[in-house]
Amino acid sequence: MTPTALDASQAGARLDELTVLDVRTPGEYASGHLPGALNIPLDQIRRALPALREVRGELLVVCASGARALSACEVLSKHGIRAVTLAGGTQGWAAAGQRLDRPAAGTRAVWAMERQVRFTAGTVVLTGLGLGLLHPAWQLLCAGIAGGLVFSALTNTCGMAALLGKLPHNRTGATDLDATLATLPHR
């Protein structure tokens, strides 16, 4: 079952009554997030389930474009927790002219995960093509990336994003999950 998606104006009008969960990496969250959003990265959503069951009101799950939010909503739904997503994610929110909160000056922003994946995939393919001039077997690297991108599109998952999310620059100001969960509005 696909969760309901609110557009930016609908979410903006209901922001005071929604509990907003941002499932991006801490680095992405620090680059700009919906006002009042709590950062619970997708890879920690299962650990947060007991606290999320007790949340008062409706959950709005957001990410950069919406794909990770849908994955989070699937996990929540399997555990009986109802949530809605933000159509277009934080990118759509910002494009609609809505305000994004950012941390204090001096905090380094991190590229969005989709941009990191595109950069990494492109770099690996170019490297494989270059090395393929030395030995054709290196072109298999390009085929591997192509196959991974096709699999990613078919399954709406991204193994490369999962790996990149574990890199230190994506863990900038790592989320203190227990502190975040303590701020959730309970029934």
Kindly report, as residue ranges, where domains of CATH 3.40.250.10 are found in the chain.
5-108+175-182
- In this prediction, residue 169 carries a pLDDT of 73
Local confidence pLDDT in tens for the 187 residues of the chain: 567 899 999 999 999 999 999 999 887 888 889 999 999 999 889 999 999 998 888 899 999 888 889 999 999 999 999 899 999 999 999 999 999 988 765 556 667 778 888 999 999 999 999 999 999 999 999 999 999 999 888 887 788 888 887 787 776 555 577 777 777 776 5
* pTM of structure: 0.68
Q: How many CA atoms lie within 13 A of 130 on its CB side?
A: 6
- In this prediction, residue 108 carries a pLDDT of 61
What's the CA gap between 102 and 135, in Å, rounded? 47
- In this prediction, residue 28 carries a pLDDT of 83
- In this prediction, residue 43 carries a pLDDT of 86
For 63, the enclosing helix (H) or strand (E) is none
Sheet holding 83-86, edge to edge: 5-6, 83-86, 58-62, 18-22, 38-39
What's the CA gap between 173 and 149, in Å, rounded? 29
Tell the CATH superfamily of the 5-108+175-182 domain: Rhodanese-like domain (3.40.250.10)
For residues 90 and 34, the answer to whether their CB atoms sit within 8 Å is yes
What's the CA gap between 138 and 5, in Å, rounded? 43
Segments in the chain forming alpha helices (H): 8-14, 26-30, 45-53, 67-78, 89-95, 113-132, 139-155, 159-164, 177-182
Look at the block and give the residue holding tokens 């001039």.
133
**R_g over Cα of the chain:** 18
Q: What is the dihedral of CA 63, 67, 70, 76, to 10 degrees?
A: -60
- In this prediction, residue 25 carries a pLDDT of 84
- In this prediction, residue 63 carries a pLDDT of 92
For 2, other C-beta atoms within 10 Å of its C-beta total: 9
Question: In this structure, which amino acid lies at residue 12?
Answer: G
- In this prediction, residue 179 carries a pLDDT of 73
Q: What is the dihedral of CA 117, 123, 127, 130, to 10 degrees?
A: 130
